[in-house]
């Protein structure tokens, strides 16, 4: 035995008494901080794994055992902690060493038998009994305070309370009337009633919906380079607000968002809910591999779910097994597999349930029938991606053949079996096969022609318009200048006209086009616009359409609608119809579609591919049939309030297998995996996404309630009971009040996951109602207020800073929901967005003054007023915002356009009412601070008002500049300006934007 070992042996006796070391409290955090990076789930250097007793007791590569329970001397872990040999000593020298006291704890723990325990967050929830009578939250919090002999803070005054509750629940200041009535309310339930009133306000849904939208990484654009606008994104935002207002229980709220599409016979609202996972980014940068970014989005869904519901950093296991937590890489891909067959689709949904109800009420059963027809149309469209490969094979073969033959289309006149006009116009057949219109020219007309069936199917059709001496200016049209407007052309195919089906035409081309009257307009379904030939009258001209699906057998009909209303008699005078049966490249599909077909499938990004989908919808028999049924039903009704929404739908054909991806690389799939959850958590019933959604909120899964309760707590106290809101794993913080967290989690489930009930529970506790003043004596004992001996002061979020200013100044437009809006923003912010694909058109009218959460959020160029106040960038999920305090924030509320306007409006608001300086200043302060002003505050502001008056009386010209669009009527500009300068300072008070 060398001296070194002898000296360490001396230390191999624990100095601590029995029971001194607790695994969960003392040992696991030490392992997590110092050891698991190498001796954890992802690695077992030397054979040592310190997450289970079994792993720790195994014989190591060195022949010793890491831990021998009860035997410090034989435990290699302890020896390696104590050895003086720098090469052997643990942790390695580049890592943070353990403190002697920590080593003592480890020794005591080994001596006591080295008992491991399951990580606290994975254990089932049991509801402990509160340690005292009264409000359970206070019982838990105060018993801990009592242990440390700390007195809780007194209840805040009523002004503070109503302001606090309104800021927390609504994000708006209470009105002076609300304040007065609360202050005057002598009933013992005055506070509870005030809380209930706030909870029933629809603004509650905006406030708490916005918290959820952070988690949902909600934005109004795609993200990445192109960052295109998502003009329908707001539909999901409104779903969230509605769900929160209706207090949709959190378990249902979860299931609908994760798997609403898989619920039996889902409602449109349940479909919209799945847009939670459509908030992922879309990369339409040229040359991207679409599979890479599809997988990236599925990974984001997996990791967001991990963060939002499980409070686990599952993303760490994307490339390798988690270093600290028991999440293997395989398990990551098991979670991933739940989402891997949820496809990104677009569905038509009502613009809102209310709008749809009204529509149904007004239009009765006919309107009700639209819903199933719409679903059938969506379903038919949803099949297109699956049909594409087969369809493409045929088209590619035809294209290849046409290219090989390099055929040019030749046209021959088609025989006209009959021709009729809607008007009294008659036709004379001429020897060249053309038709000449005779009779009194009419302003608008429709010609219907039956063609004698040709021997070969037509691949293109042409109308040749011809001059004729009988026509004004020789024609070919019947208007005075010889022109016409060919409005809409329709080719039909069938046994008879009444049974005939439309044959899609494409790629219109003409020998000449008048500006604003192009060949393309003959296919736009608007017969008032069309093709005209100014500059080419008096001569023969041609227009040609291609036929991708050549009709064979049966009869062909051609309908020419001419409804141009801006001038008179713009109808066709003399023309003939020609056809071609040559299969050319042009005829097979429109050029833009052929271009997409020449791209490798993996490069066809969601934008690039749009014309292809549009084309397939035109030629796919199922879509055509479904569309016809829907259109027919719709035709008799007013325009239904429907809109497109991006949602998730389960893939039913071509179902993907899921694999572990080596190092997270989509090009390196390894073992196949089945959907499944983490082994440390209770089992999931089955493998569908719906099973997974139900598992997330099942009674057995302890994480979702703990994590959710903690999120809510953190919004009301500034910190969670677990301060690491995103990490409930072994490296996360321990709960400051573990029993309280357990009790709240169980209570949340007991109250049927009602968020309103839960908020009411917290808001009625004395703990919540405490003053937020710091206390000198606590500076040493608990400077961070972990024990909750007071409330915390919280600066409100960027959106709320805006809302408060708008509300206090009287500018706020309280309208809820609908498309996102564009409040004033410096022009060059939007301009810096890539490709200049975005212009910010400032909203007019009330939309200029909407709440912050309705501001259009473009990911690569978000509104600076929001981001300056820490609004997250929506690229990844966010469950807790950072809070900074910067000079840029000061500049924003002092100078930004919206805030400058608020100071004008606040001045106008107080000047409008009668009063003197003092009463007006008091009123302005009341609008902003809720509480009555102090004499000192009045004095400071009176001085400022006086100084401002003096300045503007000397500078009347400048006074006028300050008024903006909110000048107070009957007030001199100098006086008005002085008030604006003063109001501006009131709106910048720290207290105003702080929940105290």
Partner 1 sequence: MNPVEHQILQTRREFLATSANGLGMMGLGALLSQEGILRADTVASTDPLRPREPHFPAKAKNCIFIFLEGGPSQMDLFDPKPKLNELHGQPLPDSMTKNVRFAFIRKETARIMGSKRVFKKHGQSGMEFSDYLPHMAKHADDWLMIRSLHTDQFNHHPGQLVLHCGRAAFGLPTIGSWLNYGLGSMSKNLPGYVVLSAGRGTSGGASLWQSGFLRSSYAGVLFRNQGEPVLNLKNPPGVPMALQRKGLDALMELNQSRYDQFRDPEIASRIAAYELAFRMQAAAPELIDLKDESAKTLEMYGVDRADPPIKASRGGGPGQYKSFATNCLLARRLVERGVRFVSIMHASWDHHSNLDNELAYNAGMADQPVAALLTDLKQRGLLDDTMVVFGSEFGRTPLGENRGGNPNTTGRDHHPFAFTMLAAGGGLKGGLTYGETDEIGWGIVRDPVDLHDFHATMLHQFGFDHLKLTHRFSGRDFRLTDVSGRVIKEWIA
For position 965 contacting partner 1 by CB under 8 A, the verdict is: no
Chosen residue from 948, 967, 975, 979 binding partner 1 by CB under 8 A: 948
Long-range contacts of 257-266 (CB under 8 A, 24+ apart): 257/216, 257/693, 258/305, 258/689, 258/692, 258/693, 258/696, 259/688, 259/689, 259/690, 259/692, 259/693, 261/342, 261/647, 261/648, 261/649, 261/650, 262/650, 262/688, 262/689, 262/690, 262/693, 263/690
Selected range binding partner 1 among 200-208, 643-651, 685-693, 855-863, rule: CB under 8 A: 855-863
Q: Which is nearer to partner 1, 70 or 826 (CB)?
A: 826
Strand partners, 576: 464
Q: Which of 803, 805, 775, 800 is nearest to 787 (CA)?
A: 775
Chosen residue from 599, 671, 672, 686 binding partner 1 by CB under 8 A: 599
Distances in whole angstroms, Cα of residue 337 to Cα of each of 54, 184, 308, 345, 657: 30, 58, 18, 18, 8
The least distance separating partner 1 from the CB of residue 357, rounded to whole angstroms, comes to 39
Site for partner 1 in 308-337 (CB under 8 A): 313, 316, 323-325
For position 595 contacting partner 1 by CB under 8 A, the verdict is: yes
The least distance separating partner 1 from the CB of residue 977, rounded to whole angstroms, comes to 6
CA gap 676, 340 in Å, rounded: 12
CA gap 942, 580 in Å, rounded: 88
For position 637 contacting partner 1 by CB under 8 A, the verdict is: no
Q: Which is nearer to partner 1, 104 or 991 (CB)?
A: 991
CA gap 344, 606 in Å, rounded: 10
CA gap 716, 791 in Å, rounded: 9
The interface mask with partner 1, positions 764-803, x = CB under 8 A, is --------xxxxx----------------x-x--------
CA gap 52, 48 in Å, rounded: 10
Chosen residue from 481, 951, 953, 971 binding partner 1 by CB under 8 A: 951
Site for partner 1 in 615-634 (CB under 8 A): none
Q: Which of 471, 473, 447, 441 is nearest to 567 (CA)?
A: 441
* Residue 47, Ramachandran bin (φ over 0: left; ψ between -120 and 50: alpha; else beta): left
Tally the residues of the chain.
996
Chosen residue from 882, 913, 914, 935 binding partner 1 by CB under 8 A: 882
Selected range binding partner 1 among 144-152, 411-419, 564-572, 872-880, rule: CB under 8 A: 872-880
Site for partner 1 in 80-99 (CB under 8 A): 94
Q: Which is nearer to partner 1, 240 or 316 (CB)?
A: 316
**Which residue is listed with tokens 């392992």?**
31
Selected range binding partner 1 among 119-127, 171-179, 283-291, 358-366, rule: CB under 8 A: 283-291
The least distance separating partner 1 from the CB of residue 821, rounded to whole angstroms, comes to 20
The interface mask with partner 1, positions 6-45, x = CB under 8 A, is ----------------------------------------
CB 152 within 8 A of CB 160: no
Q: How far from the centroid of its chain's Cα atoms is residue 856's Cα?
A: 12
990: Cβ contacts below 8 Å, ≥ 6 apart: none
For position 246 contacting partner 1 by CB under 8 A, the verdict is: no
The least distance separating partner 1 from the CB of residue 328, rounded to whole angstroms, comes to 16
CB 948 within 8 A of CB 929: no
The least distance separating partner 1 from the CB of residue 834, rounded to whole angstroms, comes to 5
The least distance separating partner 1 from the CB of residue 625, rounded to whole angstroms, comes to 35
Chosen residue from 28, 307, 522, 736 binding partner 1 by CB under 8 A: 307
For position 845 contacting partner 1 by CB under 8 A, the verdict is: no
CA gap 420, 418 in Å, rounded: 7
For position 732 contacting partner 1 by CB under 8 A, the verdict is: yes
Residue 718: how many other CB atoms lie within 10 Å:
17
Q: Which is nearer to partner 1, 153 or 245 (CB)?
A: 153
Selected range binding partner 1 among 148-156, 750-758, 808-816, 935-943, rule: CB under 8 A: 935-943
For position 680 contacting partner 1 by CB under 8 A, the verdict is: no
Q: Which is nearer to partner 1, 541 or 726 (CB)?
A: 726
Site for partner 1 in 152-211 (CB under 8 A): none
Site for partner 1 in 450-469 (CB under 8 A): none
Selected range binding partner 1 among 51-59, 177-185, 254-262, 881-889, rule: CB under 8 A: 881-889
Residue 501 CB-density burial (10 A; 0-12 exposed, 13-18 middle, 19+ buried): middle
Q: Which of 926, 948, 949, 951 is nearest to 937 (CA)?
A: 926
Chosen residue from 75, 288, 304, 425 binding partner 1 by CB under 8 A: 288
Q: What are phi and psi of 409, to 5 degrees?
A: -75, 135
The least distance separating partner 1 from the CB of residue 213, rounded to whole angstroms, comes to 16
Q: Which DSSP helix (H) or strand (E) runs through 90? A: none
Helices (H) and strands (E) in the chain, counts: 37, 18
For position 873 contacting partner 1 by CB under 8 A, the verdict is: yes
The least distance separating partner 1 from the CB of residue 46, rounded to whole angstroms, comes to 21
For position 991 contacting partner 1 by CB under 8 A, the verdict is: yes
Q: Which is nearer to partner 1, 373 or 861 (CB)?
A: 861
Give the pair of three-digit tokens for residue 292. Answer: 């890479």
For position 875 contacting partner 1 by CB under 8 A, the verdict is: yes
Give the pair of three-digit tokens for residue 647. Answer: 């949602």
Q: Which is nearer to partner 1, 548 or 861 (CB)?
A: 861
For position 828 contacting partner 1 by CB under 8 A, the verdict is: yes
For position 229 contacting partner 1 by CB under 8 A, the verdict is: no
Q: Which is nearer to partner 1, 48 or 978 (CB)?
A: 978
Residue 499 CB-density burial (10 A; 0-12 exposed, 13-18 middle, 19+ buried): exposed
**Which residue is listed with tokens 């805006």?**
802
The interface mask with partner 1, positions 897-916, x = CB under 8 A, is ---x--x-------------
CA gap 57, 52 in Å, rounded: 9
DSSP code string of 398-465: HHHHHHHHT-----EEPPEEEEEESSS-EEEE-TTS-EEEESS--SSEEEEEEEPPPSS--SEEEEEE
The least distance separating partner 1 from the CB of residue 611, rounded to whole angstroms, comes to 15
Selected range binding partner 1 among 6-14, 372-380, 703-711, 871-879, rule: CB under 8 A: 871-879
Size of the site for partner 1 (CB under 8 A): 98
Selected range binding partner 1 among 115-123, 353-361, 443-451, 889-897, rule: CB under 8 A: 889-897
Selected range binding partner 1 among 466-474, 613-621, 643-651, 831-839, rule: CB under 8 A: 831-839
186: Cβ contacts below 8 Å, ≥ 6 apart: none
Chosen residue from 176, 884, 915, 932 binding partner 1 by CB under 8 A: 884
For position 601 contacting partner 1 by CB under 8 A, the verdict is: no
Q: Which is nearer to partner 1, 312 or 521 (CB)?
A: 312
For position 473 contacting partner 1 by CB under 8 A, the verdict is: no
CB 236 within 8 A of CB 218: yes
Q: Which is nearer to partner 1, 282 or 736 (CB)?
A: 282
Chosen residue from 456, 784, 834, 839 binding partner 1 by CB under 8 A: 834
For position 723 contacting partner 1 by CB under 8 A, the verdict is: no
User: How many CA atoms lie within 13 Å of 517's alpha carbon, on the beta-carbon side?
Assistant: 23
DSSP code string of 103-118: HHHHHHHHHTT-----
For position 886 contacting partner 1 by CB under 8 A, the verdict is: yes
CB 744 within 8 A of CB 709: yes
CA gap 176, 923 in Å, rounded: 9
Chosen residue from 171, 441, 476, 729 binding partner 1 by CB under 8 A: 729
């Amino acid at each position: 035995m060398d001296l070194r070992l002898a000296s360490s042996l001396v230390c191999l006796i624990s100095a601590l008494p029995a029971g001194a070391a607790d695994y969960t409290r003392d040992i696991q955090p030490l392992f997590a901080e110092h050891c698991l990076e190498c001796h954890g789930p992802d690695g077992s250097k030397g054979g040592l794994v310190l997450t289970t007793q079994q792993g720790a007791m195994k014989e190591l590569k060195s022949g010793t055992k890491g831990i021998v329970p009860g035997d410090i001397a034989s435990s290699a872990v302890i020896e390696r902690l104590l050895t003086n040999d720098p090469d052997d000593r643990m942790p390695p020298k580049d890592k943070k060493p353990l403190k002697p006291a920590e080593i003592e704890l480890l020794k005591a723990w080994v001596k006591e038998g080295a008992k491991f325990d399951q990580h606290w967050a994975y254990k089932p929830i049991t509801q402990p009994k509160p340690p005292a009578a009264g409000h359970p939250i206070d019982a838990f919090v105060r018993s801990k305070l009592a242990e440390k002999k700390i007195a809780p803070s007194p209840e805040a005054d009523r002004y503070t309370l109503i302001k606090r509750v309104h800021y927390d629940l609504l994000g708006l200041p209470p009105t002076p009337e609300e304040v007065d009535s609360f202050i005057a309310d002598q009933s013992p339930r005055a506070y509870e009633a005030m809380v209930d009133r706030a909870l029933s306000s629809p603004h509650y849904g905006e406030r708490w919906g916005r918290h959820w939208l952070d988690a949902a990484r909600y934005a109004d654009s795609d993200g990445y380079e192109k960052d295109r606008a998502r003009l329908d994104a707001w539909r999901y935002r409104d779903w969230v607000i509605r769900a929160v207002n209706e207090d949709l229980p959190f378990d249902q709220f979860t299931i609908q968002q994760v798997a609403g599409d898989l619920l039996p016979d889902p409602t449109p609202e349940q479909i919209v809910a799945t847009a939670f996972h459509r908030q992922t980014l879309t990369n339409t940068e040229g040359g991207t591999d679409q599979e890479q970014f599809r997988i990236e989005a599925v990974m984001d869904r997996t990791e967001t779910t991990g963060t939002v519901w499980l409070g686990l950093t599952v993303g760490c296991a994307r490339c390798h097994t988690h270093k600290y937590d028991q999440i293997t890489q395989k398990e990551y891909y098991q979670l991933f597999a739940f989402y891997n067959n949820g496809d990104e689709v677009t569905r038509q949904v009502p613009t809102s349930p209310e709008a749809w109800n009204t529509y149904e009420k007004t239009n009765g059963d006919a309107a009700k029938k639209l819903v199933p027809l719409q679903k059938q149309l969506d379903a038919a469209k949803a099949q297109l991606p699956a049909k594409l490969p087969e369809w493409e094979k045929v088209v590619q073969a035809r294209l290849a053949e046409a290219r090989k033959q390099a055929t040019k289309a030749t046209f021959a006149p088609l025989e006209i079996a009959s021709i009729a006009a809607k008007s009294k116009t008659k036709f004379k057949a001429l020897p060249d096969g053309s038709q000449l219109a005779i009779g009194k020219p009419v302003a608008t007309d429709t010609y219907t022609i039956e063609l004698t069936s040709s021997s070969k199917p037509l691949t293109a059709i042409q109308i040749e318009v011809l001059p004729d001496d009988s026509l004004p200016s020789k024609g070919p049209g019947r208007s005075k200048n010889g022109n016409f407007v060919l409005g809409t052309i329709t080719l039909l195919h069938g046994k008879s006209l009444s049974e005939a089906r439309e044959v899609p035409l494409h790629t219109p081309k003409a020998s000449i086009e008048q500006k604003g009257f192009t060949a393309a307009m003959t296919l736009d379904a608007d017969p008032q616009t069309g093709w005209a030939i100014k500059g080419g009258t008096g001569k023969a001209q041609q227009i040609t359409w291609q036929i991708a699906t050549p009709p064979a057998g049966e009869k062909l009909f051609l309908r020419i609608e001419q409804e141009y209303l801006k001038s008179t008699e713009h109808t066709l005078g003399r023309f003939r119809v020609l056809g071609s049966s040559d299969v050319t490249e042009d005829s097979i599909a429109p050029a833009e579609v052929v271009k997409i077909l020449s791209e490798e499938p993996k490069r066809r990004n969601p934008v690039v591919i749009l014309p292809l989908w549009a084309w397939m919808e035109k030629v796919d028999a199922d879509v055509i049939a479904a569309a016809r049924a829907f259109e027919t039903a719709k035709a008799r009704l007013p325009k239904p309030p429907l809109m497109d929404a991006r949602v998730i739908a389960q893939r039913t054909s071509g179902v993907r297998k899921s694999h572990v991806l080596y190092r997270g690389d989509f090009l390196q799939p390894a073992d196949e995996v089945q959907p499944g959850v983490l082994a440390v958590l209770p089992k999931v019933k089955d493998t569908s996404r719906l099973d997974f959604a139900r598992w997330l909120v099942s009674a057995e899964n302890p994480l979702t309630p703990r994590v959710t309760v903690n999120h809510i707590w953190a919004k009301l106290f500034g910190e969670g009971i677990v301060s690491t809101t995103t990490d409930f794993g072994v490296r996360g913080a321990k709960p400051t009040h573990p029993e309280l967290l357990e009790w709240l989690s169980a209570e949340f489930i007991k109250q049927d996951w009602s968020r309103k009930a839960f908020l009411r529970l917290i808001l009625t506790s004395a703990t919540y109602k405490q003053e937020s003043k710091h206390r000198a004596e606590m500076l040493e004992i608990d400077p961070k207020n972990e024990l909750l001996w007071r409330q915390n002061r919280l600066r409100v979020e960027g959106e709320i800073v805006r809302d408060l200013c708008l509300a206090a100044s009287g500018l706020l437009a309280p309208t809820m929901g609908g498309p996102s809006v564009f409040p004033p923003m410096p022009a060059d912010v939007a301009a810096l967005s890539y490709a200049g694909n975005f212009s910010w058109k400032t909203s007019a009218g009330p939309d200029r003054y909407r709440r912050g959460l309705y501001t259009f959020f473009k990911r690569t160029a978000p509104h600076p007023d929001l981001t300056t106040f820490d609004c997250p960038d929506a690229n990844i999920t966010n469950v807790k915002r950072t809070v900074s305090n910067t000079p840029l924030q000061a500049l924003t509320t002092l100078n930004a356009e919206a805030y400058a306007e608020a100071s004008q409006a606040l001045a106008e608001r107080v000047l409008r009412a009668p009063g003197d300086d003092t009463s007006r200043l008091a009123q302005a302060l009341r609008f902003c601070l809720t509480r009555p002003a102090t004499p000192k505050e009045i004095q400071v502001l009176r001085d400022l008002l006086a100084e401002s008056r003096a300045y503007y009386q000397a500078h009347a010209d400048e006074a006028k500049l300050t008024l903006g669009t909110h000048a107070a009527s009957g007030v001199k500009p100098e006086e008005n300006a002085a008030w604006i300068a003063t109001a501006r300072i009131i709106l910048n008070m720290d207290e105003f934007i702080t929940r105290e």
